[in-house]
Amino acid sequence: MLFWDPTMVLLIPAILLSLYAQFKISSAYKQYSEIRSQSGLTGAQAARALLNSNGLYDVRVEPIRGRLSDHYDPRTRVINLSEDVYQSTSLSSVAVAAHETGHALQHATGYFPMQLRSSFVPVANLGSGAGPMLILVGLFMPSIGWLLQLGIFAFSFAVLFQIITLPVEFNASHRALLLLQEGNLLRGEEVRGARTVLNAAALTYVAAALAAVLQLARFILIARGRSDD
């Protein structure tokens, strides 16, 4: 079967890393959510200050529902911050807000990996949705087994998207730390706390990329096994 077979063992490393990543981001975010930044700025105020200092006056900062739902939307040029981050003065909130500001700067400067990732969004969404369905149909209907190959091909775009996401996220965090230090929004040990939060968040993207790569490898092994039968 597609979802329960010996190839499932390939996913174990990704599952373990995902669990560890979720633990790290939850614990780091909680720890530094309880520490107020010396600047006293909320996440929204920190993002606004960093944007203004880089001439991005037209980028808006708005609250959005959900926990850790923070993201930058290049289509509308809006930094969406979860309500906790938007209004909190904690180190976690300032770090997350700076990270999203890093994405806004990537967009403004034409950072190539971000442009590449944006161009992959439509095919990645199609691949992650239609790919597994085509694979499933191809497995259960051997007479049209070419659907299996088509599904793997489609899913590969979703995998590429996850891989391209890595340098985008790492660079945004790097920019965030530089912005916070250059803008004097965080000082001394505060920077170390922000780095801990951002590194933990980055690990979740690594886990997602590993899961996607191993799932693709699993699909390929299943397809080869069927062709050998």
Residue 228 pLDDT greater than 80, yes or no:
no
Instruction: Please state, rounded to an integer, the average pLDDT across all residues of the chain.
Output: 92
Structure tokens, 24: 């790290």
Compute the distance between CA of residue 38 and CA of residue 91 in angstroms, rounded to an integer: 9
pLDDT tens by residue, 111-133 = 999 999 999 999 999 999 999 89
Distances, alpha carbon 179 to alpha carbons 42, 88, 92, 94, 203, in Å: 16, 19, 15, 11, 21
Residue 67 pLDDT greater than 90, yes or no:
no
- DSSP per position, 158-176: HHHHHHHHHHHHHHHHHHH
Give the three-state DSSP class for 79.
Answer: strand
Structure tokens, 142: 């051997």
Q: Could you state, in order of their start, the residue ranges of all structural domains in the chain?
A: 6-38+91-228
- 182 annotated active-site: no
pLDDT tens by residue, 129-184 = 999 899 888 887 876 778 889 999 999 999 999 999 999 999 999 999 999 999 99
Distances, alpha carbon 113 to alpha carbons 56, 96, 107, 124, 169, in Å: 20, 20, 10, 15, 10
Catalytic one among 34, 100, 182, 190? 100
Sign of the CA dihedral with 5 first, then 9, 14, and 20 last: positive
CB 156 within 8 A of CB 126: no
Tell me the CA end-to-end span of the chain in Å, nearest whole number. Answer: 14
pTM of the model: 0.90
